[in-house]
Amino acid sequence: MKLTIIGTGYVGLVTGTCFAEVGHHVICVDNDAEKVKLLQAGGIPIYEPGLEELVKKNVASGRLCFTASTAEGVEKSDIIFIAVPTPPQPDGSVDLSFIERVARDIAAAMNSYKIIVDKSTVPVKTGDKVAETIKRYCKARVEFDVVSNPEFLREGFAVEDLMNPDRIVVGVRSQRPVAAMKETYEPFNAPIIVTDINSAELIKHASNSFLALKISYINAISVVCEATGANVQEVATGMGMDERIGRRFLNPSLGFGGSCFPKDLSAFIKISEQCGYDFALLKEVQRINAQQMDRFVKKITDTLWVLKDKQIGVLGLAFKQNTDDVRMSPAIELCQRLLKEGARLRVHDPKAMDKAKAILPTVTYVDDMNAVAEDCDALVVATEWDEFKKLDLEKSRKAMSAPIMFDGRNLFDPQEMERLGWIYKSVGR
């Protein structure tokens, strides 16, 4: 099929590439001409495992191309996916100006029947607004359908998630676009659920809020574990063996972050408020998340007493493993809090150091994770990178003024750490 994706961020670029990989012909559009040039030259603006090879392969096969012209993308395809950012506004509501702009651009370029598919995370009822906008700005008398098709990929696992989705959600106003949507997704062998547009839009916000709730739930349990001497890892394993609960997203942490959960929670609370419902449960999810960071910082200050002039090593800057994304990263917030207390920081992240430099200009960036601990009064694990589990614990311990580790991701075994001579403090155990 001929498909156009507007927006080459995490969602748009990965979606377009995976569509090409399964055999569709894909045009990716971005209004950032520099980015388009980079992509055309075989460069990738983000770090995402497996993506670079897949982009190269599909560009070479002629199934994937890039352009800065929305008109070209709209004219040449029958199905247009919108995958532009929907950033948060200061009051928690969603800024839909990129979606509105793209809807007008699509309308202006429509030359035949088009299916316009929203992939960006949007508040319920956005599909109606997009349809109204296109109708208003479309000069050619052509028909169109608007479809909601939320994306569920996780950064860091985007290609894997996209190629093996649990489900495909297709929200429609009429049956007309359903066959083409099913054909588009047929190669992915996933169950397709067809709903009305409002339900499809809600499925996305409801899913992300539920996952955030699951993390806050285990983080709240971690507080009770610490107070009672129980071990949150064992509690999570025991809970997770119940298939109705499941083990995934029960990993305690210094809080969730990223460009999705914090933003989507605020947006969903706001949307509910506009519907006349006070979603107090989700406000509590936010409160637990903020407290989790406070509690972790307190753990550090309680142990080190005064942070002023102390040197702290921080492992991890990205908001989670396998990504270079530092947006709303708990690791960055932690660094900012420690800097505010007067600490000096030596930091390392396998992929996110370049992106962190603009936000944290005064810290020392260390290329080798095994050199971070040098002359430090404490070492902190802030991101759950798998490779941190291979840290040279002996070398790090010997290089430190005091062998104290605060593990905000429970990467190490407490008994083993004690045996190796560390003062080891993790979450909920």
Decide: is 261 part of the binding site for ligand UGA (CB under 6 A).
yes
The answer to whether the CB of 334 falls within 8 A of the CB of 296 is: yes
Choosing from 258, 316, 408, 428, the residue that interacts with ligand UGA (CB under 6 A) is 258
Decide: is 408 part of the binding site for ligand UGA (CB under 6 A).
no
Decide: is 152 part of the binding site for ligand UGA (CB under 6 A).
yes
Choosing from 21, 105, 151, 201, the residue that interacts with ligand UGA (CB under 6 A) is 151
Closest contact distance (angstroms) between CB of 255 and ligand UGA is 7
Number of residues that bind ligand UGA (CB under 6 A): 21
- Give the three-state DSSP class for 114: strand
Choosing from 117, 172, 211, 300, the residue that interacts with ligand UGA (CB under 6 A) is 211
Please count the other Cβ atoms lying within 10 Å of the Cβ belonging to residue 132: 12
Choosing from 63, 320, 344, 429, the residue that interacts with ligand UGA (CB under 6 A) is 320
Decide: is 257 part of the binding site for ligand UGA (CB under 6 A).
yes
Question: For residues 157 and 279, which CB has a smaller minimum distance to ligand UGA in the complex?
Answer: 157
DSSP alpha helix (H) spans, 258-345: 261-274, 280-304, 330-340
Decide: is 319 part of the binding site for ligand UGA (CB under 6 A).
yes
> Which one from 65, 138, 260, 335 is the annotated catalytic residue?
260
DSSP-derived letter for residue 166 is: S
Decide: is 201 part of the binding site for ligand UGA (CB under 6 A).
no
**Which segment (129-137, 138-146, 148-156, 167-175) binds ligand UGA by CB under 6 A?**
148-156
Using CB atoms within 10 A of its CB, is residue 72 exposed (0-12), middle (13-18) or buried (19+)?
A: middle
Which run of H or of E encompasses 5? Answer: strand 2-6
Decide: is 188 part of the binding site for ligand UGA (CB under 6 A).
no
Tokens of 258: 């990223």
Question: For residues 58 and 208, which CB has a smaller minimum distance to ligand UGA in the complex?
Answer: 208
Tokens of 158: 């985007």
Torsion-angle region of residue 305: left (phi > 0), alpha (psi -120 to 50) or beta?
left
Distance CA 266, CA 264 (A): 5
DSSP-derived letter for residue 210 is: H
* Site of tokens 């052509």: 142
Closest contact distance (angstroms) between CB of 318 and ligand UGA is 9
Question: For residues 9 and 72, which CB has a smaller minimum distance to ligand UGA in the complex?
Answer: 9
Closest CA to 179 of 79, 39, 277, 84: 79
Site for ligand UGA in 85-124 (CB under 6 A): 121
Q: What is the CA 315 to chain-centroid distance, rounded?
A: 19
Choosing from 98, 137, 249, 279, the residue that interacts with ligand UGA (CB under 6 A) is 249
Site for ligand UGA in 375-404 (CB under 6 A): 384
364: CB partners within 8 A, 6+ apart = 344, 345, 346, 347
The yes-or-no answer on residue 260 being catalytic is yes
Closest contact distance (angstroms) between CB of 30 and ligand UGA is 18
Phi (first) and psi of residue 262, to 5 degrees: -60, -45
**Which segment (131-139, 256-264, 307-315, 364-372) binds ligand UGA by CB under 6 A?**
256-264
Expressed in angstroms, the distance from the first to the final Cα of the chain is 53
Positions that interact with ligand UGA (CB under 6 A): 121, 151-155, 208, 211, 215, 249-251, 253, 256-258, 260-261, 319-320, 384
Q: Which residues are catalytic?
A: 260
